[in-house]
Amino acid sequence: MHRVVNVNKKCYFWLMISSGFLFKENLKIAISSIRSNLLRTILTVFIIAFGIMALVGILTAIDSIKGSISNEFRNMGANTFSIVNRNSRVSMGGRVKRFESITYREAQKFKEAFNFPALISISTWASDMATVKYKSEKTNPNISVIGADENYLFTAGYEIERGRNFNYNEIQSNAHSVVIGKNLATELFAVNDSAVGSVIRIGSDKYKVIGILKAKGSSFGASGDKMCILPITSVRQYFSRPNMNFKIDVLPHDSKLLDAAINEAQGIFRVIRNLRSFEEDNFSIETSDNLANLLIENIKYVTIAATIIGIITLFGAAIGLMNIMLVSVTERTREIGIRKAIGAKSSIIRRQFLYESVLIGQLGGFFGIILGIVMGNVVSLITGGAFVIPWIWIFSGVVLCFIVGLISGLFPAIKASKLDPIVSLRYE
């Protein structure tokens, strides 16, 4: 019994050594064949690499953009939610249902009635085409003007770099004070220190600069640093327009109470807007996470399109690789006949061609992944994102290239393994 076990162990040991030797020899033959057909191999590798580069590069860029979106909305005010006007929608019968704007009186009522431990601010968009002047300096008509109360900077996630924020008395007395963004201060004033205390002209009215915001960067093409924040009472007076819409931002003192604060705010604002129990909300409650998720959800269509483009390119590469392998089988017919004549089995011939096909596929995948990571992160740097290494897409690229090589080499390998050695030796 022990002798049988020992014999089986020895057989298994020599079988493993034999398999390793065959793998090594087949790999050498594959590399030799690739070198002898270098131009065709380079073209095929390039096609495969292009497909993988498109797939990995675009998906890497999308991952970076997703991270950038999340960071941007997080910087807009973490753990806050906003009560805003609900967008119009098409109802049954094709009628457009429009919802009333949130008025200043309603916003003030909510601020007084909401007794939850939270910070509340009221703001409104005055203009995004304002021109700001200081002495002989003048900006382009692309400055954003926001009307806000003394709590807005906290709920919106802004910080003061120089000067100070509005106080309650300035808001109530309609003071001609303004807090400006970092880029606007740099554009108007030679030395930023001279900005605080200076008087600038916004439109036709003059305002005293009381504070400069810390730089916050651009968000989706719009710079948050080229802006003016005025007292909301001043905006109501000098930028007034019909159906002026106001926004309410709420920042709970404890982030764990965010959901409870949202439920409380929804109930109070329904009462303020005189909604009955069976009526739907005519306002919306938005959180930064919801907005980020909405944008990220829309990006999935770009991801699907990128995946389809990459798969189509890889399909073309697979056809090209199969053609090259078929040509290789034809060119090496005599060589196959010689190998079979000296004892090579059909399975060995089949493996040789499969190894060659898979090796070409992996070479294309390697260069494609490198180029894709570089391309994706160049886009990431342009959009202000962080460096990303897409491990999921790297492993996916390796697997895809293995599948492409295997499928492309399978038919030529079977064809080579079925060649008659006598006919093959008489070839040419």
More confident residue, 119 or 287: 119
| Per-residue confidence (pLDDT) for residue 221, from 0 to 100 | 45
Give me the mean pLDDT over the 371-376 stretch: 84
Is the confidence at residue 98, as pLDDT, over 90?
no
| Per-residue confidence (pLDDT) for residue 365, from 0 to 100 | 84
| Per-residue confidence (pLDDT) for residue 191, from 0 to 100 | 67
pLDDT in tens, 299-354: 677 777 777 877 787 777 778 778 877 877 777 777 777 777 777 777 777 877 78
Question: Strands, E, within 153-306: which ranges?
Answer: 160-163, 177-180, 199-202, 205-213, 218-219, 222-223, 227-231, 247-252, 283-287
pLDDT bin (cut points 50, 70, 90) of residue 275 is confident
Phi, psi of 386 (to 5 degrees): -90, 165
State both tokens at 175. 């003071």
| Per-residue confidence (pLDDT) for residue 133, from 0 to 100 | 92
Give the integer Cα–Cα distance in Å for 319 and 51: 13
Give the integer Cα–Cα distance in Å for 158 and 162: 12
| Per-residue confidence (pLDDT) for residue 201, from 0 to 100 | 92
pLDDT bin (cut points 50, 70, 90) of residue 288 is low
**Are the C-beta atoms of 207 and 199 separated by less than 8 Å?**
yes
Is the confidence at residue 298, as pLDDT, over 90?
no
The per-residue pLDDT of the chain, averaged, comes to: 78
Give me the mean pLDDT over the 381-409 stretch: 78
Helix (H, G, I), strand (E, B) or coil at 122: strand
pLDDT in tens, 84-95: 887 744 444 445
Give the integer Cα–Cα distance in Å for 261 and 278: 22
Is the confidence at residue 358, as pLDDT, over 60?
yes
| Per-residue confidence (pLDDT) for residue 318, from 0 to 100 | 78
pLDDT bin (cut points 50, 70, 90) of residue 232 is very high
Output b/e per residue, 24-44; b: 16+ Cβ within 10 A.
eebeebbeebbeebeebbeeb
pLDDT bin (cut points 50, 70, 90) of residue 110 is very high
Q: pTM for the complete prediction?
A: 0.55
Give me the mean pLDDT over the 283-303 stretch: 69
Give me the mean pLDDT over the 69-83 stretch: 65
Give the integer Cα–Cα distance in Å for 249 and 80: 7
